[in-house]
């Protein structure tokens, strides 16, 4: 992150004793989950609750009663039937919970939560707590404490000393999350964790009915599938499934906007028809099927049926092209996309020509979109490489074409795919090999999955022909499953096709990945997006000569580039993760202020005496970044709790009692390793900051040697 100015001073710490560290603050006690030595921020899900019914005999009749009383929108069993989860209207939730807690036949009722660090991961509470105590805490006292809190000690945890499992009874005044945080304030408690239920699927996986056929997104192997020939979409979706604020423009022949996978709240943005100029880019001719399939690969909505696109959460801007590539049509296309707010412009088409350099106006139209669009960050423009198995810029001695359409030494040039501001996409197969038809050359940026098949192209006065010499035999690799025109028109008689392909398929796959990247980091400019895609691509190799020209360009040069695959096959997860990491590392700051307190402060072995060290910030501003360095020497660091309190009075736990027998602490706490610090974001920095340290034991002493603040505003 850029540092404009750094001020450094050293200050004598302020010491205060006789105060008790409260651990998790009362206002956060219900949304901080104690888990594995960490404190995880939770959000309440505002339309789900869970209940645990006393006996199986009562379950059927009680559930029927609750259905009539609450009219839930959905009911499901959780944790092998231990819990029943019910979805209700948001305004019903608290009343439903209150009623459930008053019914004798319901043993336990709770909110449902989400992990802030893993959105959409539902956390279901069970009525159990696991608590580990210090060895000197008598069992009689443990049971007395349990009774006060409404807990019953059920059993010990085998293999772990002084650790017990407690049941939360109806007498408990707080839920297990709050109880755990309350217990962690007790000096005799080492660990207190609620028992929670999380789905066993660690990666997001859409429920759309044809998703299992969309091998290009994710697969576990099988017939016709090489290991990791997919784009690793599921891990990328754990970061983001796309934002409606990111608009992916797909430019193509026409789009079936009645298709259910191309609809959704806020999905459609500024459709335009450059061909008929009626604003509705719908198919009007039997052959206008291409655009629907292309759009499905990039942005198909997650509906629970059909297919899903790489970026289902992004918006979709359909632009019907004229079918001609004159200067004005290209200007209208790109200027229109920019003016209507496109973030990404995907172009799965090329001129019906062997040699097609761009005019100045065409070059300029693309350049302006890629540099002036998206409020100056640049629209990300993508083109498919083409399907003729020819160089984007080079000579080939042609022979064996149908009707001798081409003969002799021929210069090939694809002006759109060669534009320096464009991301050019070639095609790989489900076997991680070059698609036989895919064009190639030094201008290819990345490859993406598609089908396999014979090379072909459209030529004026000839139509669509296979390029020569003709390739005989089978083409190993699976087709692409995507949306198709609804009804009997289209590539199939259903609303979906499993045989789509060409670099026309590969291009929207990468466009979808770009949509995810910009959702994770909207500050990236177009050049940065291209660089990240290339830097994070998988280096697939194919050393087998292609069956048409006998060339073998599937290896990489010393720059890491392959003529067939560019810088490799796109990896959605790596690209999105890199975009997200850069967003955190490159927050734009106007100023960075650093203060250090280096006077030694004694930490007594006294759980009633909290120590405080203060640093005063005289500057004003709102917090955008924070780093807190703490250096402590102590006989047993696991005895300590460390918190920071900002001038507005917000306290954040930096370090729980998880350091065990360590004796030296030198650590910098940041947004990345201490997510709770995000609670201080956008708050004022002016005033007194305090580091608060409490020794929960009376055995070992220690010293705070130094602490410092680095605040970005």
C-alpha span between 32 and 193 (Å, rounded): 11
C-alpha span between 570 and 585 (Å, rounded): 23
3-state SS, one letter per residue, for 30-51: CCEEEECCEEEEEEEEEEEEEE
The token duo for 565 is 């695959």
Nearest to 300, CA basis, from 319, 285, 279, 318: 318
Q: Establish how many alpha carbons lie within 13 A of residue 545's alpha carbon, considering only the half-sphere containing its beta carbon.
A: 6
Residue 252 appears among annotated catalytic residues: yes
C-alpha span between 519 and 577 (Å, rounded): 11
Nearest to 662, CA basis, from 697, 634, 623: 634
Options 504, 597, 646, 708, the catalytic residue: 504
Q: Do residues 629 and 706 touch, judged by C-beta distance below 8 A?
A: yes
Mark residue 477 as left, alpha or beta (left: phi above 0; alpha: psi -120 to 50; beta: remaining): left
Options 208, 252, 256, 546, the catalytic residue: 252
Q: Establish how many alpha carbons lie within 13 A of residue 693's alpha carbon, considering only the half-sphere containing its beta carbon.
A: 31
Residue 504 appears among annotated catalytic residues: yes
According to DSSP, the β-strands at 106-115 and 83-87 are: unpaired
Rg (CA), the chain: 31
Instruction: Give Dmax over CA atoms of the chain in angstroms.
Output: 96
702 three-state secondary structure: strand
C-alpha span between 165 and 167 (Å, rounded): 7
Determine the length of the chain. 713
Whether the CA torsion 48, 53, 57, 63 is positive or negative: it is: negative
Question: What stretch of H or E contains 261?
Answer: none
Residue 290 appears among annotated catalytic residues: yes
Q: How far apart are the first and last CA of the chain?
A: 12
490 forms beta bridges with none
State how far the alpha carbon of 705 is from the alpha carbons of 14, 179, 643, in Å.
14, 34, 16
3-state SS, one letter per residue, for 206-224: CCCCCHHHCCCCCCCCECC
66 three-state secondary structure: helix
Q: Do residues 204 and 120 touch, judged by C-beta distance below 8 A?
A: yes
Which are the contacts of 597, defined by CB distance < 8 A and separation ≥ 6? 10, 11, 12, 13, 613, 614, 615, 691, 706, 707, 708
Q: Which residues are catalytic?
A: 252, 290, 504
């Amino acid at each position: 992150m850029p540092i404009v100015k750094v001020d450094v001073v050293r200050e004598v710490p302020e010491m205060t004793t006789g105060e008790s560290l409260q651990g998790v603050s009362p206002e956060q006690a219900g949304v901080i989950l104690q888990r594995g030595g960490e404190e995880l921020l939770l959000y309440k899900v505002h339309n789900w609750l869970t209940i645990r019914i006393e006996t199986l005999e009562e379950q059927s009749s009680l559930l029927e009663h609750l259905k009539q009383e609450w009219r839930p929108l959905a009911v499901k069993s959780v944790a092998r039937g231990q819990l029943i989860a019910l979805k209700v209207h948001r305004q019903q939730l608290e009343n439903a919970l209150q009623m459930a807690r008053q019914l004798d036949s319901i043993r336990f009722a709770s909110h449902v939560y989400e992990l802030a660090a893993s959105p959409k991961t539902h956390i279901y509470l069970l009525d159990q707590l696991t608590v580990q105590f210090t060895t000197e805490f008598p069992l009689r006292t443990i049971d007395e404490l349990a009774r006060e809190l409404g807990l019953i000690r059920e059993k010990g945890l085998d293999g772990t000393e002084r650790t017990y499992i407690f049941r939360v009874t109806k007498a408990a005044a707080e839920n297990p999350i709050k109880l755990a945080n309350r217990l962690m304030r007790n000096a005799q408690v080492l660990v207190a964790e609620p028992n929670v239920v999380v789905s066993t699927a660690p990666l997001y996986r859409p429920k759309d009915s044809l998703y299992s056929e969309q091998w290009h997104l994710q697969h576990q192997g099988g017939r016709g599938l090489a290991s990791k020939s997919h784009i690793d979409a599921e891990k990328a979706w754990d970061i983001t499934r796309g934002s409606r604020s990111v608009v992916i423009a797909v430019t193509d022949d026409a789009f079936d906007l009645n298709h259910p996978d191309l609809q959704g709240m806020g999905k459609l943005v500024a459709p335009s028809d450059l061909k008929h100029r009626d604003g509705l880019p719908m198919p009007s001719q039997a052959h206008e099927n291409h655009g629907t399939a292309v759009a499905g690969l990039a942005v198909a909505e997650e509906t629970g049926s059909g297919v899903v696109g790489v970026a289902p959460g992004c918006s979709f801007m359909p632009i019907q092209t004229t079918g001609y590539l004159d200067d004005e049509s290209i200007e209208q296309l790109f200027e229109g996309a920019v003016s209507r707010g496109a973030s990404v412009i995907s172009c799965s088409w090329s001129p019906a020509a062997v040699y097609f350099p761009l005019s100045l106006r065409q070059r300029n139209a693309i350049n302006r979109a890629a540099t002036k669009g998206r409020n100056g960050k640049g629209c990300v423009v993508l083109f498919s490489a083409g399907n003729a198995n020819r160089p984007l810029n080079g000579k080939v001695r042609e022979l064996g074409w149908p009707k001798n359409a081409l003969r002799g030494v021929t210069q090939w040039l694809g002006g759109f795919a060669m534009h320096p501001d464009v991301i050019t996409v070639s095609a790989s197969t489900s076997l991680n090999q070059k698609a036989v038809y895919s064009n190639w050359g030094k201008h290819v940026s990345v490859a993406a999955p598609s089908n396999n098949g014979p090379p072909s192209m459209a030529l004026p006065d000839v139509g669509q022909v296979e390029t020569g010499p003709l390739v005989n035999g089978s083409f190993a690799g699976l087709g692409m499953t995507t949306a198709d025109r609804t009804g009997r028109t289209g590539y199939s008689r259903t609303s979906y096709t499993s045989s789509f392909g060409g670099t026309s398929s590969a291009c929207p796959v990468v466009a979808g990945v770009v949509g995810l990247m910009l959702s994770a980091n909207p500050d990236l400019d177009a050049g940065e997006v291209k660089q990240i895609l290339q830097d994070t691509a998988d280096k697939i190799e194919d050393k087998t000569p292609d069956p048409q020209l006998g060339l073998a360009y599937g290896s990489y040069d010393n720059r890491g580039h392959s003529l067939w695959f560019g810088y490799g096959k796109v990896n959605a997860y790596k690209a999105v993760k890199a975009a997200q990491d850069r967003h955190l590392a490159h927050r734009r700051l106007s100023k960075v202020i650093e203060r250090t307190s280096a006077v030694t402060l004694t930490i007594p072995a006294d759980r009633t005496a909290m120590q405080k060290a203060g640093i005063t910030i005289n500057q004003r501003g709102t917090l955008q970044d924070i780093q807190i360095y703490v250096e402590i020497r102590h006989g047993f660091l696991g005895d300590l709790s460390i918190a920071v309190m900002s001038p507005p009075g917000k306290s954040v736990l930096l370090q729980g009692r998880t350091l065990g027998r360590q004796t030296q602490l030198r650590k910098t706490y940041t947004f990345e390793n201490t997510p709770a610090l995000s609670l201080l974001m956008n708050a004022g920095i002016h005033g007194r900051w305090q580091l608060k340290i409490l020794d929960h034991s009376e055995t070992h002493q220690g010293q705070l040697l130094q602490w410092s603040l680095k605040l970005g505003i």
